[in-house]
């Protein structure tokens, strides 16, 4: 249902190598176990070594699937220290205030900026925005209290 | 139905492959446009471009995880793995 959407297609074509793994196919079943996938469908973002960096269980409509792809891509890029690329993906979602994934994007944007700079100030820039723009979000709740008091 | 692929190559062999796949798609009643806006140099991308026209998508599914991981290594990309079930 989601893949024929042109924006989804072009994003996948531009950024990913795509593969379908079928539970009904005995040759694919070990991959379900290796990636700890217990439900279908589940989208898993892997690096070229086969290490999974993000999972998205269940179906999503295109309006949510596309930002989910960006977050999954960013999480994989983050693990490989591709900080600028990750920040670009996350910023695109964070700037869409209406997106249900904007709070998660802002959280990981803070993490990205911290890992890139090893400084709290850039991280807090994203996290302050998260607390201001999405105060009721679980992602805002993940921010430890009194972070701004530390250097 | 009008399709596009973003994987047309300028390498002669790959171009031929993509063009042949596009022609085959047209022969099957599918209008297939090979967009030149994205130029890749890897043969693998050329093959995927041709396959994409055949599969009605801008991208193609790799045949298995090993092939996907190898393509990801070559192209410095990440793998989008859709764990599904046939109903």
**Could you report the per-residue pLDDT of A23-38, keeping only the tens digit for each?**
999 999 999 999 999 9
**What value does the mean pLDDT take over residues B47-51?**
55
Cβ–Cβ contact B37 with A under 8 A: no
Q: Answer whether B58's CB lies under 8 Å from A9's CB.
A: yes
> What does the pLDDT read at residue B37?
32
pLDDT value at position A122? 97
| Subunit contact A45:B61, Cβ cutoff 8 A | no
* Per-residue confidence band for A66, with pLDDT thresholds at 50, 70 and 90: very high
Q: What percent of chain B has pLDDT over 90?
A: 24
b or e along A127-144 (b: 16 or more beta carbons within 10 Å of the residue's beta carbon)? bebbbeebeebebbeebe
Query: Quick one: closest CA in A to B76, which residue?
Result: A48
CB atoms within 10 A of CB B42: 15
| Range with lowest mean pLDDT among A71-75, A77-81, B7-11, B81-85 | B7-11
Q: Give the per-residue pLDDT at B8.
A: 36
Size of interface A-B (CB pairs under 8 A): 126
Measured CA to CA, the distance from residue A113 to residue A105 in angstroms comes to 12
In this prediction, residues A58-74 reach a mean pLDDT of 94
Q: Is B69 on the interface with A (CB under 8 A)?
A: yes
Q: Give the burial string for A74-103 (b: 16+ CB within 10 Å, else e).
A: bbbbbbeebbebbbebbbebbeeeebebbb
Nearest-neighbour CA in chain A from B73: distance (Å): 5
Q: Is the pLDDT of residue A131 over 90?
A: yes
Kindly indicate the confidence band of residue B4, based on its pLDDT and cuts at 50, 70 and 90.
very low
Predicted local distance difference test score (pLDDT) of residue B31:
54
Q: Confirm if B69 and B62 have CB atoms less than 8 A apart.
A: no
The string of pLDDT tens digits covering residues A85-116 is: 999 999 999 999 999 999 999 999 999 999 99
The reported pLDDT for the residue numbered B48 is 56
CB contact under 8 A, B71 and A42: no
Contact B69, A50 (CB under 8 A): yes
Helices (H), A28-61: 29-34
User: Contact B80/A48, CB-based, under 8 Å?
Assistant: no
Could you tell me which residue, A91 or B35, shows the higher pLDDT?
Answer: A91
Q: How near does any CA of chain B get to the CA of A116, in Å?
A: 20
Closest listed residue to residue B56, CA positions, set A37, A104, A13, A148: A13
What are A's interface residues with B at a Cβ cutoff of 8 A?
3-4, 6, 9-10, 12-24, 27-28, 31-32, 35, 37, 40-50, 53, 69, 72-73, 76-77
The alpha-carbon gap from B56 to the nearest alpha carbon of chain A, in Å, equals 8
Q: Is the pLDDT of residue A4 over 80?
A: no
pLDDT of residue A133: 97
Distances (CA, A) of B42 to A73, B31, B32, B69, B75: 22, 25, 21, 15, 8
Instruction: Report pLDDT for B52.
Output: 56
């Amino acid at each position: 249902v989601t893949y024929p959407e042109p924006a989804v297609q072009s994003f996948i074509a531009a950024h990913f190598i795509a593969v379908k793994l079928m539970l009904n196919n005995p040759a694919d079943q070990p991959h379900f176990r290796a990636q700890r996938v217990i439900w279908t469908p589940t989208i898993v973002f892997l690096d070229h070594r086969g290490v999974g960096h993000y999972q998205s269980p269940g179906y999503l409509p295109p309006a949510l699937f596309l930002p989910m792809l960006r977050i999954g891509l960013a999480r994989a890029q983050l693990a490989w220290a591709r900080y600028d690329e990750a920040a670009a993906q996350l910023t695109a979602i964070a700037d869409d205030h209406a997106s249900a994934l904007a709070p998660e994007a802002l959280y990981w944007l803070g993490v990205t900026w911290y890992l890139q700079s090893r400084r709290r100030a850039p991280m807090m820039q994203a996290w302050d925005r998260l607390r201001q723009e999405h105060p009721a979000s679980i992602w805002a709740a993940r921010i430890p209290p009194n972070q701004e008091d530390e250097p | 139905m009008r399709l596009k692929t973003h994987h047309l190559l300028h390498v002669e062999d790959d171009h031929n492959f993509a063009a042949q796949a596009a022609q085959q798609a047209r022969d099957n009643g599918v209008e297939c446009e090979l967009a030149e806006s994205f130029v890749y140099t890897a043969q693998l991308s050329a093959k995927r471009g041709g396959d994409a026209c055949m599969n009605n998508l801008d991208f193609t599914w790799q045949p298995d995880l090993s092939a996907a991981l190898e393509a990801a290594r070559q192209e410095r990309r990440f793998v989008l793995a859709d764990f599904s079930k046939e109903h």
